[in-house]
Chains A and B, each alone.
Chain A
Amino acid sequence: MNCDELEPLLLEFVSGELVIAVRETVDVHVTGCAHCEALLISYRHTVRVAAALPKCAALPAALEARLRKALADQMGEGEDCR
């Protein structure tokens, strides 16, 4: 295996989808190749930092107010007879 052959396998390597024989070939190459070792570490870290991003960070105050008003308007439809 050379460096160009390794790169397209990274996705399946980090998600553990590769068959054992291929995974071992990747392991052997990475152990002896500083370039691919650095690539693998940085690829894996890229995946991890994305997973660590906040997924429900608080709404901006102005948006929260706007949404509450829209909700109230919708729920009040047909009930307010002024």
Chain B
Amino acid sequence: MVAPLPEKLTPEQVFREHAPRIYNLARRMLGNDADAEDVTQDVLLQVVRKLDTFRGDAQLTTWLHRVTVNAALALRQKRANRQKHEAGEAVDEVLDRAAPTGTVKRWDVPPDEPVLAAEQHELIDRAIGELPDMYRDVFVLADVQGLDNAEIGELLNLSVPAVKSRLHRARMRMRDLLAPHFEAEDAP
């Protein structure tokens, strides 16, 4: 069967279907509403300008990921230069120990896919916001967005082993941050 020719996207479609995705991703990466809003506008105007060159939604989605990540990284870089980055290395050192520092208590969680309440979204997003940038990026792209390690490596200019190493450390840190909220009441 011959696939039908993909229809051209309209700016309105892009706006409705993609602007929220761009904003949610930028906000998680940057942890800051105002910066995420700037990135969203930037990316949206870029994509609408190039709308004629896209054929189909899949291609556009991939491209949007790349442009959004690049725009977020660039904005963060601009901020870092202005602040002459403080505390960068100290954070890496702390995180270099992936193992949990205290005893690991049992979590009171269902064995299958969780359904989250709105206040849990907030809680988890706040924990993501506490991750150092280098870990937050891979965690958001891998575990929230669902990209595979090779795609993330391309986006962040990292080898696949480096992506996996950062992702593991990010998850261990997230685990520690979420532990107080999920531990069983009567945990030993």
Contact = CB atoms under 8 A, between A and B. Distances in A.
Interface of A: 4, 7-8, 10-12, 34-36, 38-39, 41-43, 45-60, 63-64, 66-68, 70-71, 74-75
B40 A45 contact: no
A50 B144 contact: yes
10 contacts: A38-B106, A45-B182, A46-B143, A46-B171, A52-B113, A53-B121, A53-B124, A59-B20, A67-B19, A70-B45
Contacts of B15: 67-68, 71
B11 interface: yes
Contacts of A7: 98-99, 172
Nearest to A47: B143
Interface stretch (B1-9, B21-29, B150-158): B21-29
A78 to B, nearest CB: 13
| Chain A interface main SS type | helix
Give the residue among B100, B104, B179, B188 with the most A Cβ atoms within 10 A.
Answer: B104
A74 B106 CA distance: 54
B174 A74 contact: no
B159 to A, nearest CB: 15
Give the residue among A34, A42, A56, A60 with the most B Cβ atoms within 10 A.
Answer: A42
Q: Which 7 A-B pairs have the closest CB atoms?
A: A50-B143, A56-B20, A11-B168, A38-B104, A42-B107, A46-B175, A45-B109
B59 interface: no
Interface string B144-171: 1110000000000000000010011001
Contacts of A36: 104
A38 B114 CA distance: 17
B145 A55 contact: yes
A39 B105 CA distance: 8
